[in-house]
Structure 1
Amino acid sequence: MSFLEISRGNSPLLLGLPHTGTELPDDVAEKLNERGRALADTDWHIHTLYHGLLEDITTIRTRIHRYVIDTNRDPAGASLYPDQNTTTLCPTTDFDGMPIYLEGATPDQAEIERRRVAFHAPYHAALEAEMARIASLHGFAILYDCHSIRSHIPFLFGGTLPDFNIGTNMGQTCAPSIQSMVHTACAATSYTKVLNGRFKGGYTTRHYGRPSEGWHAIQMELAQSTHLATERAPFGYDTAKAARLRVPLKQILTSLQNWSPT
């Protein structure tokens, strides 16, 4: 599919990049208000941050923006965080709870289904196929789902978000040794970290994390203050901050690439 960027490697590691895209189909863009067209809730520059850290890994990235459809949400529309503020499969508000569509232009169920078929389903078909391919090579596969978010969003959480937010749905989506390895690597840095805090892993991590089948998944939600010059528009990439952050990220990915179930 033209909106997908797939790079295939032969190691056990797969990086998912569901929220770095900024493309909007014309028929969606024309319905968004000024706030929506600002695309503030992008996982800014995450594909750049991770690029080149390791060789021979597989990456799957969608260029479509999450306001078109959020590929890390349950396609049935069920909330992964009941009783907490969040956004939906086809968001109608931003992370501050403000409308992103022109009045009367929000997608109806038919439009949501059209977008699901056009964008959500192909992205997950690609993830499923690559996890299966990798598992056929090694007997297991590890999906590392790459995310970032502003460190201050009162609508979604109180206070300041830690730098590293590791999600495994309370240890259900990967082998205990994988969770421990990533958590230990984060704890060895000067960055703040939390395991299964506000972000416990989205649909992707929970859906593909099947340790009993040899499919392991872990989500890393980075606070954008770790690699952006500012968490406001224009959300510029800070090369010095990023260079510092890439050191522990490379260590984490290397440990995952070298992990073995034995």
Structure 2
Amino acid sequence: MSSSPFEIVEPAAQCSPFVFNSPHSGTAYPRSFLNSSRLDSSSIRRSEDTFVDELFAGVVELGAPLMRAHFPRAFLDVNREPYELDPAMFSGRLPAYVNARSIRVAGGLGTIARVVADSEEIYRDRLPVAEGLDRIERIYKPYHAALRDRLAETMANFGVAVLVDCHSMPSTARGLENRPRPDLIIGDRFGTSCAPGLADTAIALLSDLGYHVGRNRPYAGGYITEHYGRPQSGLHALQIEVNRGLYMDEQRFRKTAGFDALAQDLALFAERLMALALYSGAVADAAE
């Protein structure tokens, strides 16, 4: 793994109250983790938001920080509660405070996932409880502490903050291969994680760029969007899902010819969103 499990790429000066986050784009797989997995080197990557941090890298030049994970989602998922854990995965007793009954745990996609995105089991054997808890202490908690501090700093400087949580989705849903997904999906937890005008503006801007944009279905936003989004307090959180078919070969994990054009469009989208969100009234009330 990289010397640091995550980083915040800072602009020369933060020019707007926006913070971008890519929690699932990490590709640094610990050797011990790979040795414990029953999956090959390609299958283990199916939960990645491959290249998403690169797609949104242009926001840094626009004056917004970009936080990105180096660790992979299959190893640890920071877009979950800190202790969404499946007891069946571990040898030994989990602490009583663990949330073992969430829908995400039932689906095998808790804080420490049991399966990759296409439901293939990750591990050969059960994990020691101490190992699972160590990942949370060593990576999960510092990640959220850093994100929380960066948002607090933004709030202090601008009086308002907007978190854009960046993700990708497979081009088709399993069993629905004949029904392609939208190009992008904006998630605002059904109107609860940010001012409605912010999501409206994001959808309008992407649509104006020629993209087919969905809202909240099937991705309304995960733990990060729900946990940090407190629009009544001036902290807005928005999730954006990008269709992988637009920019990568999903089987070979390689960029396609569409990558550069999409990255340019997303930079243009971010520039316009950051300009309009404050001055169109999307988050202006909180900023005043």
Same fold flag (TM > 0.5): yes
Q: Are the aligned partners of 1:36 and 1:99 in contact in 2 as well (CA < 8 Å)? A: no
What stretches of structure 1 of length at least 5 have no aligned partner? Answer: none
CA distance in 2, matches of 1:116, 1:23: 17
Aligned-partner residue type, residue 67 of structure 1: A
> Are 1:195 and 2:211 counterparts?
no
Mean CA deviation greater in 124-133 or 48-57: 48-57
Counterpart CA distance in 2 for 1:85 and 1:153 is 15
Q: Is the 8 A contact 2:22 2:68 kept in 1?
A: yes
Post-superposition Cα deviations, 1:90-148, rounded to whole Å, max 9, x if no partner, equal 1111111111112x2x3344332211111111111111000000111100111111111
Q: Give the 3 Å change call, closer, same or farther, for CA 247–66 of structure 1 in structure 2.
A: same
* Structure 1 SS opposite 2:263: helix
Code of the residue aligned with 1:73 in structure 2: it is: R
Match of 2:274 among 249, 257, 261: 257
Q: Which runs of 5+ in 2 are unaligned?
A: 85-98
Partner residue of 1:107? 127
Which has the larger displacement, 252-261 or 148-157? 148-157
Aligned to 2:111: 89
Is the 1:13–1:58 Cα contact (8 Å) retained in structure 2? yes
| Aligned residue pair count | 257
RMSD over aligned Cα atoms? 2.4
Contact 1:12 1:140 in 2 (8 A): yes
Give the secondary-structure state (helix, strand or coil) at the position aligned to 2:202: helix
2:224 counterpart of 1:204: yes
Q: What amino acid sits opposite 2:45 in the alignment?
A: L
Indicate the residue corresponding to 2:63 in structure 1. Answer: 56
Between the aligned partners of 2:241 and 2:186, the Cα distance in structure 1 is 6
Name which of structure 1's ranges 35-44 and 76-85 shifts more when overlaid on structure 2.
76-85
* Counterpart contact for 2:108–2:115, Cα < 8 Å: no
Moved over 4 A (4+): 78-86, 155-158
Q: Who is 1:5 aligned against? A: 7
SS at match of 1:34: coil
Aligned residue number for residue 199 of structure 2: 179
Give the structure with higher Rg (CA): 2
Q: Which residues in structure 2 correspond to 1:62-77 (within 5 Å)?
A: 62-77=69-84
Which of 193, 197, 214 is the equivalent residue of 2:234? 214
Question: Residue 166 of structure 2 aligns to a residue in which SS?
Answer: strand
CA contact (8 A) 1:80 1:202 kept: no
Matched, 1:26 2:31: yes
